[in-house]
Amino acid sequence: MPSPNDLHLRFPPGFRWGVATSAFQIEGAAFEDGRGESIWDRFCHQPGAIADGSHGDVACDHYHRWESDLDLIASLGVTSYRFSVSWPRVLPTGSGAWNPKGMAFYERLVDGLLARGIEPCLTLNHWDLPQALQERGGWAARDTMHRFVDYARGVQRHLGDRVRMITTHNEPWVIAILGHEFGTFAPGIKSRKTAYQVAHHLLVSHGLALEAMRADGAKAPLGIVLNLAHTEPATSSAADAARVELDEAMGRRWYTDALFKGRYPQLALDELGADAPRVEAGDMAHIATPMDYLGINYYSRHVASADNSFDAKKSGLPLTAMGWEIYPRGLTGVLTTLHHEYELPPVYITENGAAFDDHMDGGKVHDADRIDYLRGHIGAVADAMERGVPVAGYMVWSLMDNFEWASGYAKRFGIVHVDYATQQRAPKDSGLWYRDLVRACRERSST
Ligand code: IFM
């Protein structure tokens, strides 16, 4: 197995190292202790929605195995654990009465992390909107923003004194575009106009939630997590260069200009025309409420091609099992781009990792490809930091194999292997490699 060599020397004392998961992808216990239905429960049971016909009813059974899972996280030696609260578990119909059993689960989880010396990093919305709210218009309805703010305030009041960070939304682009324009994710709507209204409501609700939690005296740093790619042109043509500008405006700057400059890119508004969202007075100022940190999820680059002819399979770059190009330099690229364009708060890489076709071999998974992926990307983070980007932490996606949304259980992102028949967990070589890297960094910090 490769050793972490000197990678650890490139990170300062106090740098945070974590692993990440989300509620729907690991918890299971879909019908227990009063949990309500989420849009992903409904979506999974639509024929053809999930590649392997699976669902999240049991997932990794983390709801029952949380204690041994926390021991597992502790065994990796990380400083931080990023997880999400299932909105329908704590508020079964999205608003109204809290479900005490649901909230008690997260109380146990947070206390269990603290008892093991691990910082809890909580996300409020990792996609599992209560189905009851979808029936009232979902994220396309302005009222959902206010239900989200109530939910955020309640979670903050219960757990805010013990968590290390609170993220409003995970990857609003995915919710808006995959969920409402392409319809490949829940709730499966196919309308560009709806998608951009949803994107707008997600961003406004983020700002409103930050303001409300702060007014309630929140101590934990508050922020949002964006999925960002590094965009490059397919060719040196002027048409592809123009396409880079357009894709950046629609996919990245829609979020980052709104959050850091309080406006949507004109190029994106022009492209959307009648599909542009309805923006009410004061909305943009709420969106631009200052954040305590920005979370970035990075997996690959995006290649912009005016005639949509780019084919990752022919690019010559290695691909993950998702068919995504492995391109660590893009992580440095996107970080330095953001650093030049905006006054950034501390940045966390809140997700980075890869699915590969792992094989269990005598209880072990020799995933050298994942180790290479992680080493390359962690090095790319160090490159960005050496260029002045204020990165404060890095979290691997994912702690363990889990429900990979429309791909079901076939795609494995974990640094810990899960045998879904027995629910046995086994650290892969990448998990052990990451443990050694984190240990080396932390030992250096404590000397
Ligand atoms: O599994 C997802 C996660 O829920 C959000 N970010 C991307 C991951 C891999 O697709």
pLDDT in tens, 403-426: 999 999 999 999 999 999 999 999
Which pLDDT score is estimated for 100? 98
Query: How many angstroms does the Cα of residue 299 sit away from the middle of ligand 1?
Result: 9
User: 34 in a domain, yes or no?
Assistant: yes
Query: How many angstroms does the Cα of residue 238 sit away from the middle of ligand 1?
Result: 33
Which pLDDT score is estimated for 3? 47
What tokens were used for 374?
């992680």
Category of 27 on φ-ψ map: left (φ > 0), alpha (ψ -120 to 50) or beta: alpha
pLDDT at 4 over 60: no
User: 269 in a domain, yes or no?
Assistant: yes
How many CB atoms are closer than 10 A to CB 280? 11
CB 17 within 8 A of CB 438: yes
pLDDT tens digit sequence for 300-314:
999 999 999 999 999
Alpha carbon separation from 189 to 144, 198, 204 (Å, rounded): 17, 11, 21
Work out the mean pLDDT of the chain and round it to a whole number. 97
CATH number of the domain encompassing residue 200? 3.20.20.80
User: 303 in a domain, yes or no?
Assistant: yes
User: 192 in a domain, yes or no?
Assistant: yes
Q: Which of 40, 396, 397 to mutate to test the pocket of ligand 1 (most atoms within 8 A of CB)?
A: 397
User: 69 in a domain, yes or no?
Assistant: yes
For atom 2 of ligand 1, the residue with the nearest CA is: 404
pLDDT at 86 over 70: yes
In this prediction, residues 317-333 reach a mean pLDDT of: 98
Category of 388 on φ-ψ map: left (φ > 0), alpha (ψ -120 to 50) or beta: left
User: 1 in a domain, yes or no?
Assistant: no
Ligand 1, closest atom to CA 402? Answer: 1
Ligand 1, closest atom to CA 353? Answer: 9
Q: Report how many domains make up the chain.
A: 1
Torsion of CA 38, 40, 42, 46, to 10 degrees: 180
Question: Cα separation of 445 and 87, whole Å?
Answer: 37
21 lines ligand 1 (CB under 6 A): no
Q: Which residues contact 356 (CB under 8 A, 6 or more apart)?
A: 320, 321, 367, 369, 370, 412
Query: How many angstroms does the Cα of residue 281 sit away from the middle of ligand 1?
Result: 33
pLDDT tens digit sequence for 107-163:
999 999 999 999 999 999 999 999 999 999 999 999 999 999 999 999 999 999 999
Question: Cα separation of 202 and 269, whole Å?
Answer: 17
User: 99 in a domain, yes or no?
Assistant: yes
Query: How many angstroms does the Cα of residue 278 sit away from the middle of ligand 1?
Result: 29
397 lines ligand 1 (CB under 6 A): yes
Residue 400's nearest CA partner among 39, 2, 28, 130 is: 28
Confidence category of residue 328, pLDDT binned at 50, 70, 90: very high
pLDDT tens digit sequence for 345-355:
999 999 999 99
pLDDT at 2 over 80: no
Residue 368's nearest CA partner among 431, 303, 429 is: 429
404 lines ligand 1 (CB under 6 A): yes
Question: Cα separation of 339 and 410, whole Å?
Answer: 36
pLDDT at 388 over 80: yes
Check: pTM over 0.85? Answer yes or no: yes
Confidence category of residue 447, pLDDT binned at 50, 70, 90: low
Confidence category of residue 5, pLDDT binned at 50, 70, 90: low
Q: Which domain holds residue 319?
A: 7-445
Residues with a known catalytic role: 171, 351
User: 2 in a domain, yes or no?
Assistant: no
